[in-house]
Structure 1
Amino acid sequence: MINFRYHMVSLAAVFLALAVGAVFGTAAANGLASDVLSDSLSAAHKANKQLRQTADDLQAEASHKDDYINETAPAVLRSTLVGRRVVVVTTPSGRDHADGVIEKLELAGAAVTGPIDIQEAFFNPKDKLDLLALTRRSAPSSTLPANSDGVETASALLAKVLLTPDPPGAPLVASRSVVLSAYADAGYLTGPKRIDRPADAAVLVTGAAYVEQDSADRNRAIVTMAAQLGTAGRIVLAGTAAGDGSAIEAVRGDEALTGRISTVDGVAGAQGHVVTALALAERIAADRVGSYGTAEGADALTPRQR
């Protein structure tokens, strides 16, 4: 008869066999999995190396493209803005892109005033009543928008002093200086406090849309400024992109604004700088308006050459 001790030894043998099998099975499986994982890692490293090389090649290509654009710009822009006076106005996000735009405008022969750097306070909703009061004090007799929108009223006055032609025989140098000095002294802009003559056209350079608190109000304020400049004279709005909330997107989506404001996206690069100068030349010489660049809403990459 099988006794209890035999049962215990048998059960122990069974459990031992299971344990040994599990150990050897796991070792074998781990060996196979390790080989598969090693192969996958090796393939991933190779793919990553290839992607890095591709990225480096694309970066070099982009750099060479800018070099090509800069080298051909003199031939493309030559004399397109000779004898024209242009004022460059920047928003806080567009300040870093203004130098490239100014360089191409001057290469085209323009006499550039600016940049006039509009400060954050100008677009801050909390400062709109102070901005409105300052504007009223600076030009009490001017015909300005009769509302409580400080940005609209101040932008209308700036547009007037920067773009409206002087009356015959009565230059408005003093009044322009009063307005520009008032805004500069209050911290709403930096730039020249005296402009002897109004400009023939303006470029408003902006960048990425606001995304923080009060972003919707601030983004609308930039569009408001563009609209007032476009009401007073010829203007090109140059921005980095046409994404959600951007001034470029807002103007391109507004039929009334697209009828009087040319837009250029991609102003962070050399191509955008050249196209901005070409768009301004078209705006002045042919009185044509267009939307240029590669972003959504653009009609063409560059203005048509005629």
Structure 2
Amino acid sequence: MIDFRYHIVSIVAIFFALGAGVVLGAGPLKGTASEVVASQAEKDREQLADTRQELTDLKALDKYRDDYVAKVTAGLTDGKLTGKHVAIVTMPNADGDMTNALQDQVEQSGGQVTTRVTLDSKLFDAGQRQLVESLVTQLVVADIDFPADSTTYQRAGLILARGIAAKEEGKTADADSTKVISGLTGSKLLSVKPSQVKDRASLILVVAAKPPTPAPDNSSYNDPVDFIEGLDQGSGGVVVAGTPESAQNGGLLKTLRSDSDATKIVSSVDVANLPAGQATVVFSLAEQAGGKAGQYGAIDAKNGVAPSAVQTKDN
């Protein structure tokens, strides 16, 4: 992308120079036209060099910031998730590298990732709603208590939570969780690794994708937000991690944060692509384990940069 910008600047400079030459060649300064063009070209080259240097400096500062957070503050998350089992659920088209980085951060903080669930885009396709409703009916088990006003996708989230998670630590897979996982994976609406869940998690980390282009209407995320609420209701807590784009119009976090019911129980972090944001995800998971929720990050995050428990108090 940077090289492309350089080419554009160069091309503009060339056409400017050609234009100047034509004008000057037809006027009284015909004899000095070449000198004017050469002078302008030199100025353009200097400006281009300055722009390149500014970009290089900005990249160096960004790298310094990320390296500082990753290396100097790395120990701040140590032990924050000791004894906690965490399931990772990736939304359709979520970034794999960011998901891996988040898993590494969870594990470095003492947590154990029990399973990774990959949601297929078909899950939230309007044409699949009847299939989802049918699965909810088929897979419901005795200890799932659907709220009276729950939606189809809230119930679907509760069903998945029953398969991979529990409200308390120490719950292992049983016949009902195996039934749920088998039924959901058989539908081809999601996949689970490992396919045989041994330990059920108490916490769930949902990884959001960047919004597509063109950005969809925020209402297109209503079903995913309901699904995430269901995950929370069937577990000990949920944190949704995304990039700044996901907290802007057309993104999942934007819709989530606009839902007052969801934000009472679900946490979100909109800078999970940065080392600092990945640490905040850990702090948010720990906060969820304590029964609290918050919205953190850089874009309309009403609770600030991180949970208050880890922020420096003002004197």
Query: When the two structures are superposed, what TM-score results if normalisation uses the length of structure 1?
Result: 0.80
- The Cα of 1:38 is off from its aligned counterpart by 4.0
**What residue number does 2:64 align with?**
64
Using the aligned pairs only, state the percent identity: 22
Q: How does 1:112-151 map to 2 (within 5 A)?
A: 112-139=113-140, 142-144=144-146, 150-151=152-153
2:252 to 239, 244, 247: 247
Q: Is the 8 A contact 1:145 1:152 kept in 2?
A: no
Partner of 2:223: 221
Q: Distance in 2 between matches of 1:121 and 1:283?
A: 29
Query: Which structure has the larger Rg?
Result: 1
Q: Distance in 2 between matches of 1:48 and 1:214?
A: 37
The DSSP-based 3-state class of the residue aligned with 1:259 is helix
Counterpart residue identity of residue 251, structure 1: L
- Structure 1 residues not aligned, in runs of 5+: 1-23
Answer whether contact 1:210 1:219 (CA < 8 A) is retained. Answer: no
Q: CA RMSD in A?
A: 3.0
1:290: how far off?
1.6
Superposed CA deviations along residues 239-276 of structure 1, whole A, max 9, x for unmatched, are 11211021211222222222111110111222221110
Corresponding residue for 2:268? 263
Equivalents in 2 of 1:33, 1:291: separation in Å?
Answer: 61
State the distance in 2 between where 1:135 and 1:65 align.
Answer: 46
Task: Output the TM-score relative to the length of structure 2.
Answer: 0.78
Instruction: Report the counterpart of residue 283 of structure 1 in structure 2.
Output: 288
Letter in 2 for 1:299: N
Q: 1:280 to 1:27 in 2, by over 3 A?
A: same
Secondary structure of 1:86's aligned partner? strand
**Amino acid of the structure 1 residue aligned with 2:287:** E
Please name the residue that 1:41 is paired with: 41
Return closer, same or farther for 1:257/1:28 CA change in 2, 3 Å cut-off: same
What letter is aligned with 1:86? V
Query: Is contact 1:95-1:117 (8 Å) kept?
Result: no
Segments of 5+ residues of structure 2 without an aligned counterpart are 1-23, 311-315
For residues 63-93 of structure 1, the C-alpha deviation after alignment (integer angstroms, 9 at most, x for no partner) is 2322222223541111111011111111123
SS at match of 1:152: helix
Q: Secondary structure of the equivalent of 1:301? A: coil
Could you say which residue in structure 2 is the equivalent of 1:19? none
Which runs of structure 2 are paired with 1:76-95 in the superposition (5 Å)? 76-95=76-95
* Structure-1 separation of matches of 2:166 and 2:94: 24
Equivalent position of 1:176 in the other structure = 177
- CA shift in 2, pair 1:116/1:269, >3 Å: same
Shift of 1:292: 1.2
Determine the C-alpha separation between the residues in 2 that align with 1:124 and 1:234. Answer: 26
Moved more, 67-76 or 29-38: 29-38
Question: Size of the alignment, in residue pairs?
Answer: 281
CA-to-partner distance for each residue in 1:175-227, whole Å, 9 max, x for gaps? 11111122112211122333334322111110212456976565222212222
Q: Give the corresponding residue for 1:18.
A: none
